[in-house]
Structure 1
């Protein structure tokens, strides 16, 4: 969240991370070492050395420190992860240790999307501003075919669209991103078409 404090001095930021993966690995826990699995660790400023499974190089550690200083860190208690179902052990441990709220597709099936949408807003009601990140792999693979990291038993199109529309209506929403559309594994841009239709409904 580089520049957030400069743009919104004194404001408290909450994050809704809609994703099949928590993306809270670090160079000390990531099995692959890929940065795309680390953004939540960066913005919350954690190393998770207590769950270390990997010894990164000195160069990796130097870059990691620079990444964590790109912006001011967000409190882990102000993060809600939605749709998560593919979690590494070290990620699961740090999520429990930090008390990060996770809403799985099973939670949504059990209690309904409206109930869980209200859970999200209640959890982040102390935040001045909300940022939403929507990864298309949060959707079930039967829908989200144009992404590189699908995971079974994801959100339905109706659940995801309802949630995005609900979050879009928040008066303190400051940003929304849609990620992980990969045309190289898609067919006739079907994933992009699905997202465009979701956005049309969300904005209607």
Structure 2
């Protein structure tokens, strides 16, 4: 298999989060050697450095949105950076930053797919559905809203970033590992018809079955985007996140998830978000995230047929 050309894009902001510290995520991933480790697998890696956007003013919500102007600015920067790498035929890895940035990243991927006639599949690996709106949100933190915004439910200046509203259709998303959904959000997820493999499903059916369904019907004309929120993982193995929810995938379940994605050969873009080194222990969560990303790019125990 041909090795991809990978571009690392740092987005050092916690603008959409409820805790400070995700702004340090990109550097922690670099300290955990994300570039050299991918290069050791024959991947061509270019680190584009960090985007530079507005500081976090740490203000209360306005009309149910916290830091909306700053969130818009950061997502526009991310959108343009990710789209530029895709246009060069490279695989962008967004080093977040909080998960509000998935809006800029995935809207760029959707735009690229429209321009190249490709289908899009989004795997959303997360403890949370991130399908809140300003009416539903208990906090106003926009990192709980990117999937809703991508599906056209949100403020005009956010939902229009990709140039088309909605940027994506709910049918294109598979959510995996979900175990914390706000009451109003539950109804909204159900109404929208999101395909969700929550932890109960994974407990009952196993990660393998969930991933087989999540990856079904991928073909050579499908761009696969993985949006990996580090709080997807069980906090026992990944404490360095601001929104821990007990009962996430184990190390082996997470590895299987990543290896099955790698086996498709379709990975086209990746977000790694919500890593918060301020809450971590000796960078162990960053190292685990890099270990899992390594598996996305083909690290496995044995040669597989």
* 1:19 equivalent in alignment to 2:110: no
Counterpart position of 1:59: none
What SS is found at the alignment partner of 2:256? helix
- Aligned pairs for 1:16-95 (under 5 A) are 16-47=123-154, 64-71=155-162, 72=164, 73-95=167-189
User: Does the 8 Å CA contact 1:78/1:124 hold for their aligned counterparts?
Assistant: no
Is the contact between residue 150 and residue 159 of structure 2 (CA under 8 Å) also seen in structure 1? yes
Cα distance between partner residues in 2 of 1:78 and 1:6:
14
Other-structure match for 1:122: 216
**Whole-angstrom distance in 2 between the partners of 1:140 and 1:128:** 30
> Using the alignment, how far apart are the partners of 2:191 and 2:252 within structure 1?
32
List gaps (5 residues or longer) in structure 1: 48-63
Count residues in correspondence: 188
Tell me the equivalent position of 2:258.
164
Unaligned runs of 5+ in 2: 1-105, 300-305
**Secondary structure of 1:45's aligned partner:** coil
Alignment counterpart, residue 112 of structure 1, candidates 188, 206, 209: 206
What secondary structure does 1:83 align onto?
strand
For the residues of structure 1 that align with 2:216 and 2:209, how far apart are their CA atoms? 11
Tell me how far apart the structure 1 counterparts of residues 242 and 231 of structure 2 sit (CA, whole Å): 8
C-alpha displacement of 1:126 = 10
**Displacement of 1:187 after TM fit?**
1.4
Is 1:177–2:271 an aligned residue pair?
yes
Partner of 1:150: 244
- Secondary structure of the residue aligned to 1:41 is helix
Q: Using a 3 Å threshold, how does the CA distance of structure 1 residues 74 and 94 change in structure 2: closer, same or farther?
A: same
C-alpha distance after superposition, 1:108-128 (max 9, x if no partner)? 122121111111012666972
Deviation, structure 1 residue 184: 0.4
Per the normalisation by structure 1, the TM-score is 0.84
TM-score (norm 2): 0.58
What is the match of residue 55 of structure 1?
A: none
Structure 1 residue 136 displacement after superposition: 1.2
CA change 1:123–1:99 in 2 (3 A) is farther
Deviations 1:1-29 (A, max 9, x none): 33445533233322110100011111221
- Partner secondary structure for residue 281 of structure 2: coil
User: Is the contact made by 1:134 and 1:176 (CA closer than 8 Å) also made in structure 2?
Assistant: yes
2:255 and 2:190 map into 1 onto residues whose CA distance is: 28
Give RMSD over aligned pairs. Answer: 2.0
Structure 2 residue aligned with 1:196, among 270, 283, 290? 290
Query: Can you list the C-alpha shifts for 1:11-57, whole angstroms capped at 9, x where unaligned?
Result: 3322110100011111221111111111101111125xxxxxxxxxx
1:2 to 95, 100, 107: 107
